[in-house]
A and B are shown apart, each in its own frame.
Chain A
Amino acid sequence: MDSRRITTSQRETTRPFSLKKQPRLGESIIQGFLLFCGVLSMFTTIGIVVVLGSESIAFFRQVSIVEFVTNTVWSPQIDEFGILPLLLSTLLTSTIAMFIALPTGLAAALYLSEYASSRARSILKPILEVLAGVPTVVYGYFALKFMTPVLKAVFGEANVNIYNMASAGLVMGIMIIPMVSSMSEDALSAVPRALREGAYGLGATRLETAIKVVLPAGISGIIAAFVVAISRAVGETMIVAVAAGAKPTFTFNPFEAAETMTGHIARISGGDLSYASIDYNSIFAIGLTLFLMTLGLNMVSRRLVRRFREVYE
């Protein structure tokens, strides 16, 4: 009994530093702050969903969802709220943009990853990146002051409206090229060298290797780049707000003026908008549609990227 007491007291006095992790107040506070920073992004998403959702509900109390998705007239003055004209022009401008951006971007990616010397790549890539860094309002100016006159010269003064979807779409395509090429190049560069060497060993030319071996191997990454590009085109605002026109029209003619979803939101909210009006609620319904479209596209793209990473890493 006695001896045991001595040993415990001895143990306590001679015990070395405890190696157990000690709680430190300062460190915990810092970690808490960092966690908050990370979680803030969650609040942003929740904020977006709540804001778009609640204002849209206020809108759909007054306008039925069925009318919203089937009516081909968007004219708030006479209480016609059909998203189709806005959706159609959004899809039309995006399609035109994709006709420019996807082939050009992919071809540029093939050149940069399969053909270009490292010196050529170090010159060409930054130039393409500058193109991606130009503010979109500048592209809007370019579309209106350069592309539209060019279209008028080519297709005839009378056939092309001053504000038209074609010039907005074409310039949007130019803007998106660098994004497609850089993402596709990442996908192509991730294809292991062994695959190329195998193809060369069998006597394939550089083109055959690029098209028949490297491209199929990187295809999911390339499609992911395409999907992100589409999402970017759908959400692009300033080019269409400047160059496409300001009147929601249900038309398939790309040389006519029409208003896209983003263009409409920008125009309506630009004025002094009364918070209680149905106009105000309606832009949130459009915003919600836009958000769901781009979110869906981005998720598809991320899934594709993950797939191609899994195969080769």
Chain B
Amino acid sequence: MTTLNDKIKSGLPQGEAARRNVASRRRTGAIWRTIFLSATIIGLIALSLLIYNVVNEVFGYVATEYAVDPATLSDKPLDDLSKDELVAVLQDNMRANAFRTLEREKPMADRSESEVYDLVIERVLKPQTLETWTLRDSWFNKAAIDAQVASEFPEAKLEFRSWLTAGFLTTPMSSDPLRAGVRTALLGSLWMIAITILFAFPIGVGAAIYLEEYATDNRFNRIIQTNINNLAGVPSIIYGMLGLVIFVRTLEPITSGRIFGADSGNGRTIVAASLTMMLLILPIMIINGQEAIRAVPLSLRQASYGLGATKWQTIWHHVLPNALPGIFTGTILAVSRAIGETAPLIVVGASTFIVTDPDGPFAKFTVLPIQIYNWTSRPQPEFAHIAASAIVVLLVMLLSLNAIAVLLRNRFSKRG
């Protein structure tokens, strides 16, 4: 006994040495603790950088120049002109052919005053963006910007501009970044999501119920379960290729709306995109739904059976209402995934340039992320500004969805 004790004593540091040993181990511990904490904080920093970078591009000075000086058009300032005077200006300053074309598209009498005003700006004044600055430059280098504009573009008008405006949300796509908006893309996203939920919700919940309540532990059901888990890890672009072949090409008569009498030319429609998205988010929905159903206590089911309810009655009246908050949360998570998803829609064939609003499931469409992708890949700096504005719209949409998920969950869990 004493020999063992001696052995330990001789092998381990004693007295002062022990204290030093412990102190140095504690120091190492503290250093690594800081490293681990900073790794966690890196996420926070990245998120702030991302938001800063986007916001920085949304606001800033813009130097524009008109092809024609507005003062030469009329003796009054342009803003004070009535609609008829604006039409006259338009008629005087445009070639007759071009004016007739406009009249044929939509008679001047039917256009509102602001529409005519926009036309004057667009067709007569023809503003050109000479240079744009980011928010940071606009704040800190105002003097330098003024000097640069004064020396390089003496004719230009310098104004502080928010690229994200109410008009940005309600204007359709345009090839001119100064006038482009996200209206069509926003509507396209909403249509696509609505139809996706219509298909995915019942099927996703149904599959979750089957796997949790009906499926016995046999080979067949295990294969289904493994399969769903594997599908959750398939890259989204693969779903796009599946959608392209199955929904766009093979089921073209259905997805183009031909058999419903609403032909859109080919199968690259909202329905095809929604069905592709449905396949993409189903695994996530099923896995989340299963967790929600599994969390419902067994005693509830047994009480229901004890009163003579059938299996389905038990599920419909007791299991589902209790699992709903979880199912909703899972659905909203899946939906926010679908809203941000871009790659499969590119493959399925979302258009990048669409100016008419989608008017039904068989319309050609574009969505917000596609619009962002399209604008991001253009070299002109103006497109970076509107891409950033579209990103803000998309992120606000996602954040409000998540807020709804939290609210729903809280409300239901209080009731339950």
How distant is the Cα of A124 from the Cα of B207 in the complex, in angstroms? 34
Q: Are A283 and B241 in contact (CB under 8 A)?
A: yes
Verify if B262 is at the interface (C-beta below 8 Å from A). Answer: no
Task: Give the Cβ gap from B38 to chain A, nearest Cβ, in Å.
Answer: 8
Q: Are B39 and A104 in contact (CB under 8 A)?
A: yes
Residues of B within 8 A of A138 (CB): 50, 54, 340, 372, 391, 394-395
How distant is the Cα of A231 from the Cα of B33 in the complex, in angstroms? 29
Q: Are A107 and B36 in contact (CB under 8 A)?
A: yes
How distant is the Cα of A266 from the Cα of B376 in the complex, in angstroms? 15
Residues of A within 8 A of B33 (CB): 111, 115, 206-207
Stretch of A1-9, A67-75, A142-150, A192-200 lying at the B interface: A142-150
Q: Are A269 and B235 in contact (CB under 8 A)?
A: no
Interface bits A105-134 vs B (CB < 8 Å: 1, else 0): 101101110111000000010011011011
Q: Are B242 and A44 in contact (CB under 8 A)?
A: yes
Residues of A within 8 A of B236 (CB): 235, 237
Stretch of A47-55, A76-84, A152-160 lying at the B interface: A47-55
Residue of B nearest to A31 (CB): B214
Residues of B within 8 A of A12 (CB): none
Stretch of A91-99, A249-257, A291-299 lying at the B interface: A291-299
Within 8 A of A (CB), among B24-71: 25-26, 28-29, 32-33, 35-37, 39-40, 42-44, 46-47, 49-50, 53-54, 57
Q: Are A287 and B43 in contact (CB under 8 A)?
A: no
- Which of A130, A145, A234 gathers most chain B CB within 10 Å? A145
Residue from the list B26, B39, B233, B242 in contact with A111, Cβ < 8 A: B39
Q: Are B282 and A44 in contact (CB under 8 A)?
A: yes
Q: Are A27 and B28 in contact (CB under 8 A)?
A: no
Verify if B369 is at the interface (C-beta below 8 Å from A). Answer: yes
Stretch of B95-103, B115-123, B243-251, B319-327 lying at the A interface: B243-251
Residues of B within 8 A of A105 (CB): 39
How distant is the Cα of A208 from the Cα of B283 in the complex, in angstroms? 39
Interface size class of A (residues with CB under 8 A): 35 or more
Residue from the list A26, A48, A130, A139 in contact with B312, Cβ < 8 A: A26
Q: Are B35 and A107 in contact (CB under 8 A)?
A: yes
Within 8 A of A (CB), among B227-242: 227-231, 233-242
Residues of A within 8 A of B360 (CB): none
Verify if A65 is at the interface (C-beta below 8 Å from B). Answer: no
Residues of B within 8 A of A236 (CB): 235
Interface size in chain B (residues, C-beta < 8 A): 85
How distant is the Cα of A265 from the Cα of B242 in the complex, in angstroms? 13
How distant is the Cα of A181 from the Cα of B211 in the complex, in angstroms? 29
Residue of B nearest to A246 (CB): B377
Residues of A within 8 A of B156 (CB): none
Residue of B nearest to A206 (CB): B29
Residues of A within 8 A of B54 (CB): 138, 141-142
How distant is the Cα of A115 from the Cα of B44 in the complex, in angstroms? 18
Residues of B within 8 A of A177 (CB): 42-43, 46
Residues of A within 8 A of B40 (CB): 107-108, 111-112, 116, 124, 128, 181
Task: Give the Cβ gap from A124 to chain B, nearest Cβ, in Å.
Answer: 5
Q: Are A238 and B343 in contact (CB under 8 A)?
A: yes
How distant is the Cα of A33 from the Cα of B377 in the complex, in angstroms? 45
Residue of A nearest to B53 (CB): A146
Within 8 A of A (CB), among B194-253: 202-207, 209-211, 214-215, 221, 223-224, 226-231, 233-242, 244-246, 249
Q: Are A205 and B50 in contact (CB under 8 A)?
A: no
Verify if A140 is at the interface (C-beta below 8 Å from B). Answer: yes
Check A270/B36 contact, CB under 8 A, given A40-B207, A45-B227, A52-B241. Answer: no
Residues of A within 8 A of B26 (CB): 205
How distant is the Cα of A25 from the Cα of B32 in the complex, in angstroms? 64
Residue of B nearest to A283 (CB): B241
Interface bits A275-313 vs B (CB < 8 Å: 1, else 0): 100000001100100110011011101100000000000
Q: Are B29 and A207 in contact (CB under 8 A)?
A: yes
Task: Give the Cβ gap from B335 to chain A, nearest Cβ, in Å.
Answer: 12
Residue from the list A38, A134, A242 in contact with B50, Cβ < 8 A: A134
Residues of B within 8 A of A34 (CB): 206-207, 209-210, 214
How distant is the Cα of A162 from the Cα of B210 in the complex, in angstroms? 51
Residue of B nearest to A234 (CB): B235
Q: Are A130 and B234 in contact (CB under 8 A)?
A: no
Verify if B310 is at the interface (C-beta below 8 Å from A). Answer: yes
Residue from the list A26, A33, A110, A131 in contact with B36, Cβ < 8 A: A110
Enumerate chain A interface residues (CB-CB to B < 8 A): 24, 26-27, 30-31, 33-42, 44-45, 47-48, 51-52, 55, 103-105, 107-108, 110-112, 114-116, 124, 127-128, 130-131, 133-142, 144-146, 174, 177-178, 181, 205-208, 228, 231-232, 234-238, 241-242, 262, 265-266, 269-270, 275, 283-284, 287, 290-291, 294-295, 297-299, 301-302
17 extra A-B contacts, CB within 8 A, seeds A236-B235, A241-B373: A34-B206, A34-B210, A45-B231, A52-B238, A107-B40, A111-B33, A127-B43, A134-B47, A134-B340, A138-B50, A205-B25, A206-B29, A234-B235, A237-B235, A262-B237, A265-B347, A270-B347
30 A-B pairs (CB sep. < 8 Å): A27-B310, A30-B312, A31-B214, A34-B214, A38-B224, A39-B224, A41-B231, A48-B238, A48-B242, A55-B245, A111-B40, A124-B44, A127-B47, A131-B46, A134-B47, A135-B369, A135-B394, A138-B50, A138-B395, A142-B53, A145-B57, A177-B46, A205-B29, A208-B29, A235-B234, A266-B237, A291-B234, A294-B233, A294-B234, A302-B229
The 5 closest A-B CB pairs, nearest first, are A235-B235, A135-B340, A37-B206, A107-B39, A111-B36
